[in-house]
Chain A
Amino acid sequence: MKADYIKILKNQLEEFDASRADLDEIINDYEQLYDDALATGKTDDEVYNFLGDPNRVAYDLIDTLKIKHHKDNRNKIVALMPFISVIIYMILGFGYGWWSTGWLVFLLIPISGIAFNTNFKNGFIALTPFISVLAYLILGFVYDLWNPGWLVFFLIPMTAIILNTRFKDMFIALSPFVAVITFMLLGTYYDLWNPAWLIFLIIPMLGILQKRNKVQMLIFELTFIAAIAFYLYMGYIQNNWAIGGLGFILPVATAILFGDVTFAWNMPKGGERKKVILLLLTILFSIIVFLVLGLVLNGWVYAWQIFLLIPVVSIISFDKFRFTSISPFVAVILFFSIGYFFHVFQLSWLAFLIIPMAGIIENA
């Protein structure tokens, strides 16, 4: 399709930081070429072959582009950032004695590299691991909220979903994270692990809203509501949660009756589908491990780290693998585990230095 072709070409040229004038001119020319090619009776596929892969075209045009002038200044700032960070770190250390927290300024190195060399959308997504680490450390050190402060790491996949998913699919895609956050908050602060787990039912319930047959959709939703109501009634009034759980046979039976047990998610096809399934399995696996470690070993304090698998898998599956992107999670696990199990938080913070180090090594 013409719109897709033009969009890819435009995105690639923007990645090269082409000036507005160049961008507009090339896009106008390619729109005209595309129209002229279509007018000769070519199909979209034939036009694509005729004009060439838009990414390749953008590369072929590099030497004709006037690169935005500010890019030079940006690169200078990025190149100077290690020195600026050292100076700020020294000032914070000698001036205020903030040796143990001042190292956070070294995060400016990968942050500046990402902020100045990536377009807004991708840059914002790439920055979320660093924003999360900062928020997590502030919540931990200042408010002692190591748990459930780690929930801020969900900012990463949630941001990627919000910026990359169609509005229609966004709520379904966000629902697993909303469910985990709600579940953790209700469990941690009100000890309502049961029936807080019911919040996970919003995932299939939102998925069902996409069903085309509105009557079936309504019946489905009603079976869920009835099952939840029965479960709560049996649990709270009759004090028999186990019997209450039998109520969920109703929505399962309805799904089988309607012949679409795969109702839950209008998933994308091919590779994207595998990624979504992998992410869902990771969420499921994390919850199981979290509950097992918590219930069997009473390890609630450290078990939450398993949830860091979710943003890690999300980054590895949906983005190009770069150790810089997952280094915040490796650092958090090293920091917390070494600090907690060996009681050396005053030293374990050094684990965070792997973030700027990974950034420097991979961007060099």
Chain B
Amino acid sequence: MNTQFKKGILEMCVLSIINNRDMYGYEVIEKLASDIDVNENTVYPILRRLTGQGLFETYIEQTNIGAPRKYYQITKVGKERLDEYETEWKTFLKGVFRLLGGNNNES
């Protein structure tokens, strides 16, 4: 799979996860790694890049144990980007399934 393509999918997944609820860094990495085969250490740079693009905001929340945590929250721009990604992705998948289905019918 081409790197740029994979990177786009990962960005969409990170946006989607944080769209469901605000999360801290480690939580995002664990959630992503538990659902898809991803190298954990590639996630933080994505979080940071998307935050830099204004797709996430961060805030600090005190915890009962240890130091306060930084949480990521999706912004309006982030939601719009996620919609775009999802539309593109669904269109792409439809095309792929159509192709696969077409192949199946022929065989």
Contact = CB atoms under 8 A, between A and B. Distances in A.
B26 A36 contact: yes
B70 A52 contact: no
Contacts of A53: 41
Closest 3 CB pairs of A and B: A52-B41, A36-B26, A60-B45
A64 B55 CA distance: 14
Nearest to A59: B45
23 contacts: A26-B48, A29-B44, A29-B48, A30-B44, A32-B24, A32-B67, A32-B69, A33-B29, A36-B24, A36-B69, A37-B26, A39-B66, A50-B40, A51-B41, A51-B44, A52-B40, A52-B41, A57-B41, A57-B44, A60-B42, A61-B48, A64-B49, A64-B52
A146 B8 CA distance: 65
B65 interface: yes
B67 A29 contact: no
B42 to A, nearest CB: 7
Contact of B70 (A32, A37, A39, A60): A32
A187 B5 CA distance: 72
A191 interface: no
Pick from A31, A37, A56, A64 the residue with the most CB of B within 10 Å.
A64
A63 interface: yes
A81 to B, nearest CB: 34
Interface in A18-36: 26, 28-33, 35-36
B3 to A, nearest CB: 12
A49 to B, nearest CB: 8
Contact of A63 (B26, B49, B69): B49
B25 interface: yes
A41 to B, nearest CB: 13
A37 B24 CA distance: 12
Given A63-B49, A64-B52, A35 B66 contact: yes
A121 to B, nearest CB: 27
B41 A50 contact: yes
A57 B41 CA distance: 7
A35 B67 CA distance: 9
A28 B48 CA distance: 13
Given A26-B48, A61-B48, A64-B48, A51 B40 contact: yes
Contact of A33 (B25, B42, B49): B25
A61 B26 CA distance: 17
A31 B69 CA distance: 11
Interface in A125-167: none
Nearest to A50: B40
Interface in A50-103: 50-53, 56-57, 60-61, 63-64
A56 B29 CA distance: 17
